[in-house]
Amino acid sequence: MSDELLKVTNLVKNFELRVDKGARRRKRIVQAVTNVSFSVAKGQTLGLVGESGSGKTTVGRCILRLIEPTSGSVHFEGQELGSLKFEEMRALRRKMQIVFQDPFASLDPKLTVGASISEPLNVQGVPGDHADKVLELLELVGLSADHAQRFPHEFSGGQRQRIGVARALALNPALIVLDEPVSALDVSIQAGIVNLFEDLQSRLGMSYVFIAHDLSVVRHIADRVAVMYLGKIVEIGDQEAVYSNPTHPYTKALLSAVPVPDPKTERARNRIMLEGDVPSPVNPPSGCRFRTRCWKAQEVCAQEEPMLTVRPSGQMSACHFPES
């Protein structure tokens, strides 16, 4: 594909965890991300969904090289990031930005909004005082010029998230990783931020990796969706295919668990109730990692790891007994 902006191949990230248990000291490995592969086309949005601890944030941080992957590769505009020298990486980094979930923690309380927004420009050594650029960015995200002189504590959650977006846009990135960008916001405010992301994309043409646990927001914004469970992608494909015809039992259960905001539909629905919680990524189940909660599990699921396989509606899923 020529319009491919980002390509992640067999990404693995293990964290070493030291546990002190009495006198014995043991090392444990958290398998946060295991063999994750996907690509994102220019101007497109990939939604990354899954329950907490499934590895979404870790994938995002590996893409931006905020943490070093254990193995695997990330290609951005055709360049493999792991092979880049420090200076080259620094230059590339301006094209990749991240916006975090918590609009309260992600801004420096001592900096004015204007200073926060122009900080990436200064860090990248872009000359000038950037006053015009700051105004342009504030307008772009629906704030006004007089906001530049104020401090973060004077703003609401939704406004802070807009400031965070303005800051991420300062260097005209080609890719923005949005890590739960609306999760901390009230629904009525969420809608405005989601619209903002859509408008910015159609005007500026950047790509998004949109991480969220809210499946209805992802359905709205994403072109493609990847569903993660315990560090692995269990299903990936076009938004329409994954939502309308989920083929992995976990995808099906996840979609089924989200309550629909309409009492009549919601109460008439057949729900799949999963038992138990997600197991620990320190000791993930053998074979298919979902098998401890899967109602379709057979012996083979414990022995053989299912591979991502193309299904009739076009998406891929990793299951020995897929739904049709």
Ligand X SMILES: Nc1ncnc2c1ncn2[C@@H]1O[C@H](COP(=O)(O)OP(=O)(O)O)[C@@H](O)[C@H]1O
Site for ligand X in 54-113 (CB under 6 A): 54-58
Report how far residue 116's alpha carbon sits from residue 9's, in angstroms, rounded to the nearest whole number: 34
Residue 4: Cβ within 10 Å count: 16
Measured CA distances, 123 to 115, 238, 281 (Å) = 12, 37, 37
Residue 286 interacting entry, from another protein, Mg ion, ligand X, none, C-beta within 5 to 8 Å by type: none
Tokens representing 122 are 């200064």
Tokens representing 271 are 């729900």
Q: How far is the CB of 101 from Mg ion (least distance, A)?
A: 7
Chain position carrying tokens 């491919």: 4
Q: How far is the CB of 291 from another protein (least distance, A)?
A: 15
Q: How far is the CB of 53 from ligand X (least distance, A)?
A: 4
Ramachandran sector of residue 230 (left: φ over 0; alpha: ψ -120 to 50; beta: rest)? left
Q: Does 55 bind ligand SF4 (CB under 6 A)?
A: no
Residue of the chain from 185, 301, 308, 316 that contacts ligand SF4 (CB under 6 A): 301
Phi then psi dihedrals of residue 171, to 5 deg: -100, 20
Residue of the chain from 60, 249, 281, 284 that contacts ligand SF4 (CB under 6 A): 249
Indicate the residue among 149 and 195 with the shorter CB distance to another protein. 195
What mask of x and - would describe binding to ligand SF4 in positions 261 to 300, judged by CB under 6 A?
---------------------------x-xx--x-xx---
* Nearest-5° Cα angle at 8, 5 to 12: 160
Residues in contact with ligand SF4 by CB under 6 A are 249, 288, 290-291, 294, 296-297, 301, 306, 319-321
